[in-house]
């Protein structure tokens, strides 16, 4: 049985990890940390987990976490980068759901996150955990940086076009909308029900922290720098991301439907929908799945890709478990077979 530790178990990604790992036949959560909830039973805070866990939260102690085969960091940025070096030195493998190791450039990270990076020497070693691109590298990694939710939806939507060199990499546009759980489990006025209900708004238009992560990943696929105009929006719902992506075609693209179907033919968690069928956030709710559709409206020079994920599953905790499975040589879909929740 794989011994699992979770640092930061009281947020939305933490409880989602607990939900998914409860159904994982080869993994057991043996440690879960929270300074604020130290000593409190997990199922007291999260009654949906009654009967699945007997654990109580504890303060994060490296000596306890080092006894795990893998440790997930479900924390805000700047937590993992201070503890991960000690865990790696102890031989524990790490999947970080925060942004601490997603960018390879320490100065770029500091510019977007407003502080020096505490362990920049690990940035080159950390493997970016998008399995559809880096599966082989993930398998041998000690440290995996789990992608952000927007970056997952946007990259999976645009990668086939850039890999085939069919679009102008300097003129990419992503208009993406997320449910409020993407903002985390915190008390903020902007996230109150009366503030978000019956409304739809853009935010982070001048610059969102996920932008450099997306451009880095897409640039790796394109083999050259890319420029993305990225505008995120807040949806009046709990879960889900819908990304509408626009790219300028270089010429006659051929059969894009066939291109996407070939590109993702062997990917267990990417579903290219039949031509004419459009993705919806509700059909991926609760599932570790990205659904994609492609169109060239009015047969002009712009291709439109629509990509949907559950921001807490394929956009965070589900993808983290997928990475763990690959790292430890387990079946990639272990604990991740849930279909979307309807209605």
pLDDT digits (tens, 9 = 90+) for 210-247: 999 999 999 999 999 999 999 999 999 999 999 999 99
Sign of CA dihedral 31, 32, 36, 37: negative
Q: Tally Cβ neighbours within 10 Å of residue 210.
A: 23
d(CA 23, CA 100): 28
Per-residue pLDDT for 189 more than 90?
A: no
Per-residue pLDDT for 187 more than 80?
A: no
Express each pLDDT in 268-326 by its tens digit: 999 999 999 999 999 999 999 999 999 999 999 999 999 999 999 999 999 999 999 99
pLDDT the model gives residue 179? 96
pTM score, two decimals? 0.97
Express each pLDDT in 64-120 by its tens digit: 999 999 999 999 999 999 999 999 999 999 999 999 999 999 999 999 999 999 999
> Can you read off the two tokens belonging to residue 93?
């493998």
Q: What is the mean pLDDT of residues 324-340?
A: 96
d(CA 280, CA 242): 7
Q: Does domain 150-310 fall into CATH 3.30.360.10?
A: yes
- DSSP states of 256-301 as a string? HHHHHHHHTTT-TTEEEPPTT----GGGSTTSS-EEEEEE-GGGSS
Which residue intervals of the chain bear CATH 3.40.50.720? 2-125
Q: From its phi and psi, is residue 32 left (phi > 0), alpha (psi between -120 and 50) or beta?
A: beta
Q: What percent of the chain has pLDDT over 90?
A: 94
pLDDT the model gives residue 61? 94
Which residue intervals of the chain bear CATH 3.30.360.10? 150-310
d(CA 27, CA 315): 21
- Indicate the fold that domain 2-125 takes in CATH: Rossmann fold (3.40.50)
| Banded model confidence at residue 41, pLDDT cuts 50, 70, 90 | very high
> Can you read off the two tokens belonging to residue 75?
């924390």
pLDDT the model gives residue 246? 98
| Banded model confidence at residue 338, pLDDT cuts 50, 70, 90 | very high
68 is catalytic: no
pLDDT the model gives residue 192? 86
| Banded model confidence at residue 190, pLDDT cuts 50, 70, 90 | confident
DSSP code for 54: -
């Amino acid at each position: 049985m794989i011994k699992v530790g979770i640092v930061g178990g009281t947020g939305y990604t933490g409880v989602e990890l607990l939900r998914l790992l409860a159904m994982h036949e080869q993994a057991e959560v043996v440690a879960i940390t929270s300074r604020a909830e130290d000593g409190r039973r997990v199922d007291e805070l999260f009654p949906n987990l009654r009967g699945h866990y007997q654990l109580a939260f504890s303060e994060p102690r490296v000596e306890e976490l080092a006894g795990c085969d893998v440790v997930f960091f479900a924390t805000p940025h700047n937590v993992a980068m201070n503890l991960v070096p000690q865990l790696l030195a102890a031989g524990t493998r790490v999947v970080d759901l925060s942004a601490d190791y997603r960018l390879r450039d320490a100065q770029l990270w500091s510019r977007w996150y407003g502080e020096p990076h505490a362990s920049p020497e690990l940035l080159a070693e950390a493997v970016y955990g998008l399995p559809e691109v880096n599966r082989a590298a993930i398998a041998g990694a000690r440290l995996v940086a789990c992608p952000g939710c927007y970056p997952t939806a946007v990259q999976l939507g645009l990668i086939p076009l850039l890999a085939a060199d069919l679009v102008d990499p300097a003129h990419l546009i992503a208009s993406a909308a997320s449910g409020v759980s993407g903002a985390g489990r915190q008390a903020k006025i902007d996230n109150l029900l009366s503030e978000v209900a019956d409304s739809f708004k853009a935010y982070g238009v001048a610059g969102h922290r996920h932008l450099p992560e997306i451009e880095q990943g897409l640039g790796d696929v394109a083999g050259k720098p890319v420029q993305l105009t990225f505008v995120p929006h807040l949806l009046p719902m709990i879960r889900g991301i819908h990304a509408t992506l626009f790219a300028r075609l270089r010429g006659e693209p051929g059969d894009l439907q066939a291109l996407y179907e070939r590109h993702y033919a062997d990917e267990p968690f990417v579903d290219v929908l039949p031509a004419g069928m459009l993705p919806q956030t509700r059909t991926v709710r609760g599932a570790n799945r990205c659904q994609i559709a492609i169109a060239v409206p009015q047969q002009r020079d712009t291709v439109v890709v629509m990509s949907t994920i559950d921001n807490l599953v394929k956009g965070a905790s589900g993808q983290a478990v997928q990475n763990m499975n690959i790292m430890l040589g387990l079946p990639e879909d272990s604990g991740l077979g849930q279909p979307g929740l309807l209605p």
